[in-house]
Amino acid sequence: MYINVFDTHVHTRDGRYLHFDVFTDSNDLAQARHYAQQFLKQNNIEEDNISQSSCAFCHSESSSPEVEQAIGQTGYYIFKMQGCQGMS
């Protein structure tokens, strides 16, 4: 399965900066924003600003079985980077 990668940057209301990628099989920017907001809500994080200019389509790549399974179940997979330690 080929996936689309949306590079996402978030500033939270409590002043933190989060950086993560949204992996999905869709090329829909609005859908990627929705998935990012879902991820934040699941972790009880109130965003001040999701930088959608940075949550833009980045590239396509082959997915791992873990990513493919998550996309099949929920429609997306979050690849956590900066500031996302301990988040589910």
User: What does the pLDDT read at residue 53?
Assistant: 44
* pTM, two decimal places: 0.85
Q: What are phi and psi of 34, to 5 degrees?
A: -60, -45
Taking the domains of the chain in order of start, what are their residue ranges? 2-80
Fold of 2-80: NE1680-like fold (3.10.510)
| Identity at 64, one-letter amino acid code | S
Pairing of strands 47-62, 17-24: unpaired
Tens digit of pLDDT per residue, the chain (88 long)?
888 888 899 988 888 899 999 999 988 989 999 999 999 999 998 877 776 444 556 677 788 999 999 999 999 999 999 999 888 8
- Predicted confidence at residue 62, as pLDDT, reads 83
